[in-house]
Structure 1
């Protein structure tokens, strides 16, 4: 398991309700970030959940979202709050999501490691067999 301290402060890749204009953006991110830019996470597919999406690692897929860098003084608190929002507890088999460090592509084509909340293994299995995939890979296209 990679701990936050082992990697230092990483940006967050958000692809659902934490994106600008979505219901959780202002609650958690407004005024607490230094930078937000478009990002793309390669090797994953996006599935609809009950009012929020799940990213599932799958070859050939791409998920669109935002790469968000927390302001330094807010990083630790924001990390803890996002873990609670995503119902993630390290090592808990009941997790809905797992927080993992993965490369995310910036608009200029470079990549940076970022925290990504992926569907936990049991959730990912259910989604692959019977979930509704968002073919564009962009949560904003669901409408």
Structure 2
């Protein structure tokens, strides 16, 4: 089964100007827009962040909604799944989910692919939280 072509919500090292943006997304984007993911908490990781689902819908993760050129979408998604160690059985460092995100400029909610912490990192972060108070990797102080 082929994954639907959806924008990607990125909140850490894949954001514009961050460590992996140029390598994995550079020249492949049609549009990059500031956006937020509600109901998640952003945590420090080992050089990269994790977003963990949070029952509080007021918790926000700030990032960017990236629309990848359709002809390159499949390859970009496969490459990002590998980078994020996202396994089809859900056991990796991250899981990729279809979630609604909100565009900063218009307030419009749109579906996007989002990488959240996988089961083991999420459990560890629930036991020993390392939240980024601003919810913004670029503003982690």
Same fold, TM-score > 0.5, yes or no? yes
1:102 alignment counterpart: 99
Shift of 1:4: 4.7
User: What residue ranges of structure 2 are gaps of 5+ in the alignment?
Assistant: none
Q: CA RMSD in A?
A: 1.1
In 2: Cα distance, 1:24 partner to 1:14 partner: 11
Shift of 1:92: 4.5
Matched, 1:26 2:55: no
Could you list the runs of 4 or more consecutive aligned residues of structure 1 that deviate by over 4 angstroms after TM superposition? Answer: none
1:141 alignment counterpart: 139
More strand by share: 1
User: What residue ranges of structure 1 are gaps of 5+ in the alignment?
Assistant: none
Classify the secondary structure of the residue corresponding to 1:34: strand
Q: What's the TM-score once normalised by structure 2's chain length?
A: 0.94
Shift of 1:141: 1.1
